[in-house]
């Protein structure tokens, strides 16, 4: 099924749910969204180059080497 058809079907089903079941549906959708985000984070955390880059960034912040975006972009 195409995404638009699935979305239409979802809306029709949602409109028929009680408030309690709608809360459960929202919780489940939030779980699915969070699960995808955590999987992406876990995947990136297994890459040594990404971990090293994050470590360098943390060190830059701690050393005060970075500048605020407002200081860099004075036209804002």
Q: pLDDT tens for residues 25-46?
A: 999 999 999 998 898 889 999 9
43 within domain boundaries = yes
In a domain, 36, yes or no: yes
Which of these, 30, 4, 25, lies nearest to 13 by C-alpha position?
25
Query: Does a structural domain hold residue 10?
Result: no
Whether residue 73 is contained in a domain is answered as no
Task: Provide mean pLDDT across the span 61-65.
Answer: 88
Radius of gyration of the chain (CA): 21
How many domains in the chain?
Answer: 1
59: containing domain = 19-65
Separation CA 27–CA 20 (nearest Å): 11
Please state at what angle helix 19-45 crosses helix 48-63, rounded to 10 degrees: 90
d(CA 38, CA 32): 10
- Specify if 42 maps to a domain: yes
Q: Does 36 or 52 have the greater pLDDT score?
A: 52
pLDDT of residue 65: 84
More confident residue, 67 or 34: 34
């Amino acid at each position: 099924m195409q995404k638009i058809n699935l979305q239409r079907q979802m809306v029709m089903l949602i409109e028929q749910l009680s408030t309690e079941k709608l809360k459960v549906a929202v919780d489940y959708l939030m779980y699915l969204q969070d699960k995808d985000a955590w999987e992406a984070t876990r995947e990136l955390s297994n890459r040594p180059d990404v971990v090293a880059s994050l470590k360098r960034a943390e060190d830059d912040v701690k050393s005060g080497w970075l500048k605020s975006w407002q200081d860099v972009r004075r036209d804002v």
